[in-house]
Chains A and B, each alone.
Chain A
Amino acid sequence: MKPISRRKALQLFSSVPVTAAAIVWTSSETEAAQVQAQAARRQAAERGSPFKPKFFTTHEYATVTVLADLIIPRDERSGSASDAGVPEFMDFMMIDQPVRQTGMRGGLAFIDHICDARFDKPFIECTDDERKQVLDDLAYTGKVDSAFAHGAAFFSSFRDLTASGFWTSKMGIEDLQYLGNRPVAEWKGCPSEALEHLGVKYEGE
């Protein structure tokens, strides 16, 4: 057995402040800590080479890319799902959560099956109009013909995964104008525009 020695345990806690002196946390210190934590993770991410899917076949990966971009297209505020790396993210998740694999593979096949039956070609070879005809049959809750119920269920979960991938990307978070995940020296509550939007105010203000 190698129990951790007291010396080693103390090292683990060596930077814990144990004095009674009050420590004021300045914003420059918190920023330094944040920058340090980010840098290590960015370096790890940058070591990657061109992407090769580990789960999807080439055909599936092309289908995923087209489908994700139809769900979240480029607009005036930000890029598309594939611009934000959603297909790569989906490929990772299929390996990371294998329980998703059959549903994903089967769902993509189901969409190709609809396209084969209707247009005699797979989804990725369809025109924009043809693709939209198919999605219009699957994407709108409450308006789905029972013949397409399985395709609609797949589409809903694919849409969720697309949203997860897009809105957690750097591009997506900037698009949302999320302003947190940073140190704040003093919590002052919400700004007046936000309070006015909801018709509320702080007591005594």
Chain B
Amino acid sequence: MQIIREPKVYDVCIVGSGAGGGMAAKVLTEAGAEVALLEAGTMWDTEKDSMMFAWPYDSPRRGAATPEKPFGEFDGCIGGWDIDGEPYTNAPGTTFDWFRARMLGGRTNHWGRISLRFGPDDFKRRSIDGLGDDWPITYDDLKPYYDKLDQLVGIFGSMENLPNEPDGIFLPPPKPRCYELLVKQACDRLAITCIPSRLSILTRPFNGRHACHYCGQCGRGCQVHANFSSPSVLLPPALGTGRLRIISNAMAREVTTNENGLATGISYVNTQDKREYHVRARIVVLAASACESARLLLNSKSSRFPNGLANASDTVGRYLTDSTGLTVRGYVPKMANGVPHNEDGVGGMHLYMPWWLDNKKLDFPRGYHIELGAGGRRGVPSFGFMGNIERYNGVGGYGKTLKNDYRKFWGSVVSFSGRGEMVANDDSYCEIDPSVVDKYGIPVLRFHWKWSDYEIKQAKHMQDTFREIIQELGGAPLEAMPARDQHYGLLNGGRIIHEVGATRMGDDPKTSVLNKNCQAHEVKNLFVADGGPFVSNADKNVTWTILALAMRTSEYIAQERSRLSI
């Protein structure tokens, strides 16, 4: 069938409407560019579609997961690790679980809003410990954008002056919940830093958006836009310029190029009518997620770019990392028979533990932070409520005694989740599978994954630490520590959904895909604005850095465009 070509030539075509794509759309439309924004999924309007305030009994499945909502039917994100008709493969003996969102705003619809700046050390790890690579930019290069981001989006936190945990421009943090104070007491005794969390949730009215009303359901999508998502914060001002066109249900197939080796636009499949379309643009910005953007480049082959677009270095798909992650839960007798009160608070922890140790004194090179789980607060019950009660009361049982046990033990379990830095390695990458295509006929990714000793030793340290905190609380872990051959409970790669790299930046075109402005070394009108450009991960969540970097990249594009140099 004939490809349907639009006559209009946009200034910029952006692929992806999440954190990076939303930011690019905002900055570029406000700079005067006519922008086409492609989104593979559907339109979604938080104000109408969010399940905020729904009770579990409003649905017959009581909040259980569905195929397109793996975090539960009330979750604000359509997508998952398995999407019907959109497979990916794993090389034999390796496992990587790839989460993809398919909706306007992407994963920003349900992320944890944990908004941590990377610190000065996080941009120069190789200089510090000889592993991985340094970024071509420093914290000081990115700091002005983090500052602008804080002032644009809104984030709460506290000034702490900690090394490598830069403070931001913060709204006041919410008071801790009572069980969080108990955890802080224990951490203080163990000399583990425990401070107010840093979440992009508004504790005060901000830039015309409402303050939080403390229902604790950020993950469902906020009907009043009191937290950050791309459609709540970035897309409205972009649409307000009159220069943004959002094309939903558009699955990008490839970046098209001309005889001069410049990008000319994006060809995509309309997922509804299954026909192929072409959007023309003077500049292309990929923000489809680290691995989707790599897939697009690898699938954009031509006689001039036989190895995929912008891939002469053969590094597209390489240097892929995810955060390490595991959780330990413990029963704390003191927290049983809790006093009923509304503990919902914001949609997430009010306190957390940034990395507090010196890796030079440890047997693994990179750190992790600790997230305080929801178990200790009595949040709205949902499907799976207190499953495996035998782990709480020791026996299981039935009848009136059991019924009382549910009441007694509800809210008496604390959980600690480690989120650590993985060092990029040669065995963890994605490439095009040689034979498998998705339902649109687009070749799919094949993943290779390996945790090195660095991550496994770090996981052991997490296990020991979390068990020590639980003991300090007077509690007992719910499960025994998994063995070394189970990587001490380290989750599969991809499970923490912090995958970055795959189109990394660097000064040397032989070892990197993008330059320090996130511009392809080989194609000057092609940029990447998602997690792909990251040279290394960090012991911090990645979204705030994706946003700051996308803002910097987009301002660079606007500036070069006005100089007519792109």
Binding site for B on A (CB under 8 A): 1-4, 6, 9-10, 12-13, 15-25, 30, 33-34, 37-38, 41-42, 45, 70-73, 75, 88-89, 92-93, 96-97, 135, 139-143, 155-156, 159-160, 163-165, 167-170, 172-173, 175-185, 187-191, 193-195, 197-202
Contacts and interface: CB of A to CB of B under 8 A. Distances in A.
Given A18-B236, A24-B205, A184-B213, A167 B390 contact: no
B135 interface: no
Contacts of A193: 339, 341
Given A160-B387, A164-B385, 18 more contacts: A1-B273, A3-B247, A4-B43, A9-B244, A12-B43, A16-B236, A20-B208, A38-B55, A41-B54, A70-B399, A88-B60, A139-B398, A140-B395, A159-B396, A181-B55, A189-B174, A190-B175, A200-B178
Secondary structure type dominating chain A contacts = loop
Contacts of A172: 381
Contacts of B341: 179, 190-191, 193-194
B68 interface: no
Interface in B193-219: 203, 205, 207-217
Contacts of B237: 18
B491 interface: no
Contact of B178 (A89, A143, A194): A194
B277 interface: yes
Contact of A182 (B236, B339, B342): B342
Interface in B164-213: 174-179, 181-182, 185, 203, 205, 207-213
B224 interface: yes
A2 B247 CA distance: 9
A189 to B, nearest CB: 3
B58 interface: yes
B214 to A, nearest CB: 4
A191 B177 CA distance: 10
Interface stretch (B45-53, B281-289, B532-540): B45-53
Interface residues of B, number: 99
A17 B47 CA distance: 12
27 contacts: A3-B245, A6-B242, A9-B239, A23-B208, A23-B209, A24-B211, A45-B58, A88-B60, A93-B64, A96-B61, A139-B396, A160-B387, A160-B389, A167-B381, A172-B381, A176-B381, A176-B410, A184-B342, A187-B174, A187-B214, A187-B345, A189-B177, A190-B175, A190-B341, A193-B341, A200-B182, A202-B176
Nearest to A91: B60
A74 B79 CA distance: 40
Contacts of A168: 56-57, 62-63, 381-383, 385
Contacts of A45: 58
Nearest to B337: A197
Given A25-B213, A168-B383, A195-B178, A15 B47 contact: yes
Given A19-B208, A141-B396, A180 B343 contact: yes
